[in-house]
Amino acid sequence: QQQVKQSPQSLIVQKGGISIINCAYENTAFDYFPWYQQFPGKGPALLIAIRPDVSEKKEGRFTISFNKSAKQFSLHIMDSQPGDSATYFCAASKRARGGANNLFFGTGTRLTVIP
């Protein structure tokens, strides 16, 4: 069962355009929503994260929009650059028993920014 659903699977954007990736979740116990960026042959790296008590977080060209009632969140990349070409994963985390905390990943979006 996929805990976090992500779309689209792939995305092609012109340089300077806006890239938008969407995610949805069902489990209301999730309390932390990060986005990871992964380049080929590398491990995922944290890009930006948000808690459910805020509706938006912006860091440079990257913005997370969060809709708690709809259980949806999205990543917006403004002024997309060829260097942003990578696979992006949304994720969600919740506290589990014994201090464990599992990070549930979406299926990923392969972004290609065309020069």
Contacts with other proteins by CB under 8 A lie at 4, 6, 31-32, 34, 41-46, 49, 51, 89, 91, 93, 95-96, 98-103, 105-108
90 φ, ψ (degrees, to nearest 5):
-90, 160
DSSP strand E in 8-108: where?
Answer: 10-14, 19-25, 33-38, 45-50, 56-59, 62-67, 72-77, 86-95, 101-105
The least CB distance from residue 60 to other proteins, in Å, is 16
The least CB distance from residue 94 to other proteins, in Å, is 10
| 14 vs 101, beta carbon nearer other proteins | 101
| 10 vs 14, beta carbon nearer other proteins | 10
DSSP state of 30: -
